[in-house]
Amino acid sequence: MKLKKFVVIYCYGLDWEIDYQKINDAWRELAKGISKKTHLVFFNIFSSPKTIFTVLKSKQERKKFVNFLTSWQSSALIFYPLALFPFQRFKIIQKINYKLMYFFLQWLAKFWSRKKKVIIWLTGPNTFLLGHLNQDNFFLYDCTDQHCNMTDKIADKKIKKQEREIIRKSSLTVVNSPSLYQEKVKYSSKVFQVPAGFPLKFFLNYKKESKSKELDNIPRPIIGYTGAISFRLDFSLLEKIIKRCSDFSFVFIGFILKSRIVPPHQNMDKKVNFSLCWKKLQNYQNFYFLGPKPRRLLPSFIDCFDVGFIPYDIKQEFNKMSNPIKVYEYLALGKPVVSTKISSLDKFSDNIYFINSLQEFQNSLKIILKNKVSFREKQAKVKIAQGNSINAKLETIEDYLIRF
């Protein structure tokens, strides 16, 4: 069943207009992809509520509210539910504000259901939505990560319990990796795997003459990384590699997710200081941090890489089940990829070099730099990227919708 037969209410916890240089905005590109197929209502599940007083005081917030009132006929409507009270940290106020948010969502679903069937597209374990909405609506849970809390065991159990409930109650759950599928299918037979869903359009429209000049003065070969700078990185392995491979330049592009402490997990017996780890890397002369860049410009930087790098700490549960968007960004430009052994990428072993040590990294680089990527190999890499585009993901979801 095609998405055009539905109105999609897409629920997400970040502001639509958030600075795309400071946070991963793949969710926003997916929402835009949906809006090209059908009418989309973006519903902002507020983490920091905006009251009527906020709207009256802020020119920017008033503009958002006016835009909402005047854009009912557009293919993408952005809806910011208002809270009744500020001071969300108090439980009673939080409860009242959430009840008001339920009302707004129910009203939207009821309003649009008069014209078309409604899909409420959930992007996180927001179980409260299911508990307060009419179960006649079609709920689609789009699970793109292993939701967990690595610093608080009690919070971790709560998140996982919420997610189990949302999977059981959802009409359809889609996941983007084999390991996530194996984990989530335990709770429902309505769980299916779909492509990763990365924004291919920026890479299709990229022209070689647009290659960035910021890397012109950086010695080659360049080992490049794009994405969040956070505790997800394997700092221990990274430092060994950067220190011993002084003939290579390591270029990191992305936003820093500030965290003082890298939380412990099942294979770590102590916490690690994130700031200290990051500072150590920056002390090496062959390490270059270029900061965050707009997604539309990423191809011009990645095209300067000799190798795309994914140095995730695979001992972490979150990483172990991930399907990194960046691997498809590298492959879309035909770049060789070196990654720690993430299980979701196993099926691409012909196009990715897997490493778990300094020696394996050095061996992989020798092979890559000795053998230039052939036209056929480049085409194979691009084909993998195309098969994991946003359009490929939405088409696969449409195929599953036929069953319901």
Structure token digits, residue 70: 């005047």
Q: Which residues contact 69 (CB under 8 A, 6 or more apart)?
A: none
pTM: 0.88
**Residue with the two structure tokens 């400071």:** 22
**What span, in angstroms and rounded, lies between the C-alpha atoms of 27 and 32?**
9
C-alpha distances out from residue 325 to 255, 277, 337, 344, 403, Å: 15, 24, 13, 12, 28
Burial 144-160 (b: 16+ CB within 10 A, else e): bbbbbebeeeeeeeebb
**What span, in angstroms and rounded, lies between the C-alpha atoms of 201 and 199?**
6
201-386 shares the fold of 3-197+389-401? yes
**What span, in angstroms and rounded, lies between the C-alpha atoms of 243 and 240?**
5
Question: Of 238, 185, 11, which Cα lies nearest the Cα of 105?
Answer: 11
**Residue with the two structure tokens 């916890």:** 13
N- to C-terminal Cα distance for the chain? 9
What is the CATH T-level fold of the domain 201-386, as seen in this structure?
A: Rossmann fold (3.40.50)
Structure token digits, residue 71: 């854009």
**What long-range pairs does 278-283 form, CB within 8 A, spacing at least 24?**
278/229, 278/235, 280/235, 280/239, 281/235, 281/238, 281/239, 281/242
CATH code for the structural domain at 3-197+389-401 = 3.40.50.2000
**What pLDDT, on a 0 to 100 scale, did the predictor assign at position 370?**
93
Tell me the three state secondary structure of residue 43: strand
**What pLDDT, on a 0 to 100 scale, did the predictor assign at position 151?**
65
**What pLDDT, on a 0 to 100 scale, did the predictor assign at position 366?**
95
Structure token digits, residue 47: 């983490």
**What pLDDT, on a 0 to 100 scale, did the predictor assign at position 268?**
47
Domain residue ranges in the chain: 3-197+389-401, 201-386
Q: Which residues contact 400 (CB under 8 A, 6 or more apart)?
A: 172, 174, 192, 194
Residue type, 402: I
Cis peptide before 199 (omega within 30 of 0): no
**What span, in angstroms and rounded, lies between the C-alpha atoms of 212 and 299?**
9
C-beta neighbour count of 1 within 10 angstroms = 14
Q: Could you give the count of Cα atoms lying within 13 Å of 121 in the half-sphere of its Cβ?
A: 25
pLDDT in tens, the chain (404 residues): 789 999 999 988 777 766 654 456 788 889 989 999 998 888 877 655 666 666 667 777 666 666 655 555 567 777 777 766 666 667 777 777 777 788 888 888 888 888 889 999 998 886 566 666 666 779 999 999 888 766 677 878 888 888 998 999 899 999 999 999 999 999 999 999 999 999 998 888 888 767 888 999 999 999 999 998 988 899 999 999 999 999 999 999 998 876 544 555 444 445 567 888 899 999 999 999 999 988 888 899 999 999 999 999 998 888 888 999 999 999 999 999 999 999 999 999 999 999 999 999 999 999 999 998 999 999 999 999 999 999 999 999 999 998 87
**What pLDDT, on a 0 to 100 scale, did the predictor assign at position 269?**
45
Number of helical (H) and strand (E) elements in the chain, helices listed first = 16, 15
Q: Which alpha helices (DSSP H) does 211-273 contain, by range?
A: 235-244
Q: Could you give the count of Cα atoms lying within 13 Å of 30 in the half-sphere of its Cβ?
A: 26
**What pLDDT, on a 0 to 100 scale, did the predictor assign at position 318?**
86
Residue type, 252: F
C-alpha distances out from residue 147 to 28, 164, 343, 345, 357, Å: 19, 11, 17, 19, 27
Q: Could you give the count of Cα atoms lying within 13 Å of 306 in the half-sphere of its Cβ?
A: 19
**Residue with the two structure tokens 């108090």:** 90
C-beta neighbour count of 22 within 10 angstroms = 13
